[in-house]
Amino acid sequence: MEQKLGMSVWILLLLFLWSFPGNAAQPHIDRTIKVRGDVIVATTNDNYICATLDWWPAEKCNYNQCPWGESSVLNLDINHPFLASAIKAFNRLRIRIGGSLQDRVVYGMPNLGYPCLPFVKMVDGLFGFSKGCLSLKRWDELNTLFQQTGAVVTFGLNALRGRHNIRHGVWGGAWNLTNARDFIGYTISKRFPVDSWEFGNELSGQGIGACVDAEVYGQDLIGLKAVLDELYHNSTSKPLLLAPGGFFDKQWYTQLLQTSGPGVVDGITHHIYNLGRGNDPHLPNKILDPQYLSRVSDTYRDLQQIIQRHGPWVSAWVGEAGGAYNSGGHLVSNTFLNSFWYLDQLGMASKFNTKTYCRQSLVGGNYGLLDTETFIPNPDYYSALLWHRLMGKVVLSVDNNGSSFLRAYAHCAKEKAGLSLVLINLNNTEFRITVQKVMKNKMNEDYETKNNGSPSDGLKKMASWIGMKAPSSSIKREEYHLTAKDGNHRSRTMLLNGRTLELSEDGQIPDLVPSYVYGNSPIIVAPLSIVFVVIPNFDAEACS
């Protein structure tokens, strides 16, 4: 009787201890991520991460909101120390200057013929605004910022200068390149290192506000290329020519490449706003819906095929992507939640050989990487910075064992040996991940025979050891766990390994410090969280 009573007490004690949160069994899903380490799927540029500066003035409003403030190229506070710190942290961030009003911008050359003035509201103007002017003084100031911060500059040129609306938004007439030519010449004379010139903004297909025939556009590109060759003939390096900076239209893009031909366009740029309008009440649900997120892959695939068939000399760029159009979603695009969309886009686009991905915007609208008024980073800023620092140019193949709610992307680690992963958990359940290398021309079952182990032992060892240069139990990997403050996924504060990411008192970007975990343990991806992982001893032949 005493023995039974004693056993009952022990059982009750164990149940009591097990009831504590730290000891309770948490529901989870086990998954194996299989990485093909010997095949290069695609490659990106060094400056894959890119952010835009737009022309929109404070009067740009959508859905009874005016979220642009003083963020225009013409009036942005370029002397704000937080802005400089945010750009410098990337050590060569690409900045694309462009946007809807790009084709209404003139350049304040001495022969312009009228005063150089900013945009003003105009009822019958394109997008409701007059023409605006970029003064040479302002261009000098911007380049001081770019040179001090090491930015790589892409500048979007006005492709409607000299044209007129001939019918229902279709613009015709000859492009007047004089103002653009003079501006490029001035830029060269000042030795401002513009890395690439982009021609036009959202004039492809049916256009946004205006459109231009693809054949006309292609002929203009031939003319612009000749101008660039002439003006840069004494330069040691020549800029790239990009076009058309619009929404993908299969027939239009094909015609553009056929008309312009080889040796003219270096990069073909397209825009992505796959989440729909900024005031859509279903916007948060779309961001967490794997089927919805995957739809845009058709655009990447179609563009890749067109390039292969009609323009193998060009590379694909995402020239502008804000998720939700019309300035983004209020209290969505600037929150932790948006990083699920953003990082999934970066991973997806890279798999289709996209060389650069420009986020709309660096500052401005609801989708700015930095807050429009304070320049304090929003969560997506840190997502972009981690990608830039950890994910190398070489893209590898990943099989995540069929779970659509777990998004997984693998690249060679950046500037170090090994593998970098980003794991995105769209689910309310924890994932426990094992990383396995898929070996070429070799069956995994061979592992068990060579190691004289039982089938179960072989499987366990294979999960931890295959693809590793040294025993994983002796090597630590880097993990960067991103979560929302207080578990609120609409929070504008991101946590890295449980620590709040915030600027220092003098406005410096915080250190992004990983946690170090022994390689023989699974990667824990908490519900609705994101994890970057760097595995230093992953032996991927493609990364050599």
Active site residues: 202, 320
Residues 6 or more apart whose Cβ sits within 8 Å of residue 87? 93, 95, 145, 149, 150, 151, 362
Tokens of 200: 């036009």
Using alpha carbons, select from 161, 102, 156, 181 the residue that is nearest to residue 269: 156
Q: What is the DSSP letter of 82?
A: H
539-542 LR contacts (CB < 8 Å, sep 24+) = 539/37, 539/437, 539/467, 539/468, 539/469, 540/35, 540/37, 540/38, 540/396, 540/412, 540/418, 540/419, 540/437, 540/467, 541/37, 541/38, 542/37, 542/38, 542/39, 542/40, 542/394, 542/396, 542/412
Nearest to 412 by CA among 166, 44, 68, 129: 44
71: left (phi over 0), alpha (psi -120 to 50) or beta: alpha
Half-sphere exposure (Cβ direction) of 404: Cα atoms closer than 13 Å: 8
What letter does residue 467 receive in the DSSP assignment?
Answer: T
Q: Using H for helix, E for strand and C for coil, what is the string for 192-237? A: CCEEEEEECCCCCCCCCCCECCHHHHHHHHHHHHHHHHHHCCCCCC
C-alpha neighbours within 13 Å on the C-beta side of residue 35: 33
Tokens of 228: 């660039």
Tokens read off for 263? 């040796």
Q: Where are the beta strands (DSSP E) in 77-173?
A: 94-97, 105-108, 132-135, 152-157, 164-167, 170-172
